[in-house]
């Protein structure tokens, strides 16, 4: 979901991104850390009756699980507002993923390196839908700090998919991770647009008259907002 900017009123561009991944990898924690509004959380207590389904061996302090979604909002700068949606982690809530992710520009897939297999469903989901994503290695206490190349190989990820280290509890790290997701979305969409133009420049120009031409998914305003946020994050003036 992205809406164009009206230059006369200079309303910010809004965009939707998704925080996804397997059970208990820190999605709700991430959305809560990064949101500037009180995040919407839909959590239910985990009971012993569900212990066969909810394997909380690695997250023993965990007492609740997301049963619908997380929602937060971040003003990246005056030109860009991000709406952040977190998916539920348990397989039995998978039927909600299509609705929660509809219209998203991209996704962050959080990974607990002790349970790499937890993220396969999410990777398949976004790959199949052509939604750009990055991998965020959420550093749990005592988790092995595998080499990024080993993780890329284990997850069978293309070299174009960024893998970043993050801490879902830390607002600064979470924001930096989101900025890296934005940067990847922009790179991916620009490459796609260039490919499409190269493939059929004439046909595209004729088929889409000025009125029918779809609004750009990523506007220049959004690009510059993300880039200036990226520069600020990295201390470049
Ligand atoms: N040490 C450590 N603990 C974390 C980190 N991120 C989350 N946790 C803890 O891990 C547990 C699970 O976090 P959640 O945010 O509920 O995970 P989730 O992915 O939303 O879980 P589901 O919605 O049930 O799939 C919580 O007890 C968090 O406090 C982290 O980066 N480091
Ligand atoms: Mg959750």
25 lines ligand 1 (CB under 6 A): yes
pTM above threshold 0.85: no
Looking at residue 92, what is its pLDDT? 85
Classify each residue of 103-124 as buried b or exposed e, where b means 16 or more C-beta atoms within 10 Å of its C-beta: ebbbbbbbbbbebeebbebbbe
Nearest CA to ligand 1 atom 7: 26
CA neighbor of 83 nearest in space, from 70, 98, 93 = 70
Strand order in the sheet with 64-77: 40-45, 64-77, 80-86, 13-21, 106-111, 133-138, 163-166
Ligand 1 atom closest to the CA of 167, numbered from 1: 31
Ligand (nearest to CA of 168): 1
Looking at residue 158, what is its pLDDT? 95
Looking at residue 114, what is its pLDDT? 93
Per-residue CA distances from 77 to 39, 154, 230 (Å): 19, 36, 11
- Token pair for 229: 């946020």
Give distance in angstroms: CA of 88 to centre of ligand 2: 6
Over residues 114-170, the pLDDT tens digits come to 999 999 999 999 999 999 999 999 989 888 889 999 999 999 999 999 999 999 999
**How buried is residue 88: exposed, middle or buried, by Cβ count under 10 Å (0-12/13-18/19+)?**
buried
Ligand 1 atom closest to the CA of 89, numbered from 1: 25
Looking at residue 208, what is its pLDDT? 63
CA neighbor of 178 nearest in space, from 1, 10, 15 = 15
Which residue positions in the chain have pLDDT lower than 70?
1-9, 47-56, 58, 60, 201-237
Nearest CA to ligand 1 atom 9: 26
Give distance in angstroms: CA of 51 to centre of ligand 1: 17
Ligand 1 atom closest to the CA of 87, numbered from 1: 23
Nearest CA to ligand 1 atom 26: 62
Q: List, in sequence order, every beta strand (DSSP E) within the chain.
A: 13-21, 40-45, 64-77, 80-86, 106-111, 133-138, 163-166
CATH 3.40.50.300 fits 13-233, yes or no: yes
What single-letter DSSP state applies at residue 180? H
66 lines ligand 1 (CB under 6 A): yes
Ligand 1 test: best mutation among 18, 23, 25, 26, most atoms within 8 Å of CB?
Answer: 26
74-79-84 Cα angle (round to 5): 25
Ligand 1 atom closest to the CA of 54, numbered from 1: 24
Looking at residue 144, what is its pLDDT? 87
């Amino acid at each position: 979901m992205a809406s164009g900017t009206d230059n006369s009123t200079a309303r910010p561009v809004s965009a939707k991104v998704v925080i996804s991944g397997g059970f208990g990898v820190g999605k709700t924690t991430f959305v809560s850390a990064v949101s500037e509004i009180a995040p919407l959380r839909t959590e239910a207590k985990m009971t012993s009756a569900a212990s066969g389904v909810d394997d909380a061996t690695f997250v023993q302090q965990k007492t609740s699980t997301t049963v619908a979604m997380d929602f937060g909002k971040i003003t990246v700068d005056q030109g860009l507002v991000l709406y952040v949606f977190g998916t539920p982690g348990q397989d039995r809530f998978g039927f909600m993923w299509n609705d929660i992710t509809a219209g998203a520009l991209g996704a962050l897939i959080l990974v607990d390196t002790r349970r790499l297999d937890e993220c396969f469903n999410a990777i398949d989901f976004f790959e199949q839908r052509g939604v750009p994503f990055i991998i965020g290695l959420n550093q749990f206490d005592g988790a092995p700090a595998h080499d990024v190349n080993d993780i890329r190989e284990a997850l069978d990820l293309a070299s174009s998919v960024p893998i970043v280290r993050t801490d879902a509890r830390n607002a600064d790290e979470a924001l930096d991770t989101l900025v890296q997701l934005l940067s990847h979305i922009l790179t991916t969409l620009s490459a796609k647009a260039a490919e499409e133009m190269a493939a059929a420049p004439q046909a595209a120009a004729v088929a889409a008259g000025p009125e029918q031409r779809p609004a750009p998914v990523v506007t220049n305003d959004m690009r510059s907002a993300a880039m200036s946020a990226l520069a600020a994050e990295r201390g470049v003036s």
